[in-house]
Amino acid sequence: MVNYKTIYKCHECGATSYQKVIDRAQNGALLPTGQYRCTGCRNIFSDIRSWWEPRRSAEQPCATPSA
Ligand SMILES: [Zn+2]
């Protein structure tokens, strides 16, 4: 499987490459699901951004605009 090298790295494990997730469709064809799997921690991410971007916490620290 092809590894995609990027300038980004996994926010979980620091790996710098990922693979497209390929899954079997209903007609039997192998198709990319549009998701990505980190080659380091093997986590699945719904897009590249969520792979390299640190997960946002529910609370936004000190980000309450006063106006
Ligand atoms: Zn990772």
pLDDT of 27-41, one tens digit each?
999 999 999 999 999
> Distance between CA 52 and CA 66 in Å, rounded?
31
> Distance between CA 3 and CA 16 in Å, rounded?
10
Neighbours of ion ligand 1 (CB under 5 A): 10, 12-13, 15, 38, 40-41
DSSP bridge partners of 32: 22
Residue 57: the pLDDT is 63
Distance (angstroms) between ligand 1 centre and the Cα of 31 equals 22
Distance (angstroms) between ligand 1 centre and the Cα of 16 equals 8
Q: How is the chain split into domains, by residue range?
A: 4-52
**Is the pTM value of this prediction over 0.75?**
no
Distance (angstroms) between ligand 1 centre and the Cα of 28 equals 29
